[in-house]
Amino acid sequence: MVLTIYAPLFASSKRAVVTLIEKGLEFETVNVDLLKGEQRNPEYIAIQPFGKIPVLVDGDYKIFESRAIMRYIAEKYRSQGPDLLGKTVEERGQVEQWLDVEATSYHPPLLALTLNIVFAPLMGLVADEKVIKESEEKLGEVLDVYEAQLSKNEYLAGDFVSLADLAHLPFTEYLVGPIGKANMIKDRKHVSAWWDKISNRPAWKEVSEKFALPI
Predicted pLDDT of residue 214: 55
pLDDT of residue 206: 97
Per-residue pLDDT at 176: 97
Confidence of residue 215 (pLDDT cuts 50, 70, 90): low
CA-closest candidate to residue 76, choices 88, 94, 65, 63: 63
> In whole angstroms, what is the distance from residue 128 CA to residue 116 CA?
6
Residue of 186, 75, 184 lying closest to 138 (CA atoms):
184
Read off the pLDDT of each residue in 147-172 and give the average, rounded to a whole number: 98
Q: What is the pLDDT of residue 138?
A: 98
| Helical segments of the chain, H only | 11-22, 42-45, 66-76, 89-101, 107-113, 120-122, 129-150, 163-166, 169-176, 183-186, 189-199, 202-210
Q: Is the whole-model pTM more than 0.85?
A: yes
| Residue 42 predicted with pLDDT over 90 | yes
